[in-house]
Amino acid sequence: MVILPQNAIMFSHNDLDGIGGGILFKAALGSHAEVHYCSYQNVDDKINQRLDELENSADFPFILIADLGIKEQTAKRLDRYQGGKRWLDHHKTNIELVSRFDWATIDVEASGTLLVFDEFENIPRSFRDFAILVELLTK
């Protein structure tokens, strides 16, 4: 487990599992935390747009992608990103791409919400039941 940095941005799926991860992210960082809920159709555009904005700043926030697949070009761009990054997913379709990056993990046995909960120690432990409930509802 690691600490989720205060200066962080999350991109998560816009379904129950992805929103569950966003709730945990906000529980760790506060209601002001920057979360982008995405569909598979717009996730790459949203990530690339935010990376474009970050290129013109001296700020390199931690980027978390959870419960989503991204295109190879987006993953390669993130790999070059100077800030911290983490990609947590559970979809079998992303195994090959995720395996190319040391900052990415796939676990087909867990929900995206549970992966986020298990990854970051500053998510309040009182949210464990919530993470497990999302896990049960999304299986």
DSSP 8-state code for residue 120:
B
137: pLDDT strictly greater than 90: yes
The percent of residues in the chain predicted with pLDDT above 70, rounded, is 100
* Full-model pTM: 0.96
Q: How confident is the model at residue 15 (pLDDT cuts 50, 70, 90)?
A: very high
Tell me the average pLDDT across 61-85: 97
pLDDT, tens digit (0-9, with 9 covering 90-100), for 33-65: 999 999 999 999 999 999 999 988 888 999 999
Is the pLDDT at 114 greater than 90? The verdict is yes
Residue 34, class by beta-carbon neighbours within 10 Å (0-12 exposed, 13-18 middle, 19+ buried)? middle
Note the CATH number of domain 8-138: 3.40.50
Tokens of 8: 């962080």
pLDDT at 32: 87
**Domains in the chain: boundaries:** 8-138
pLDDT, position 58: 85
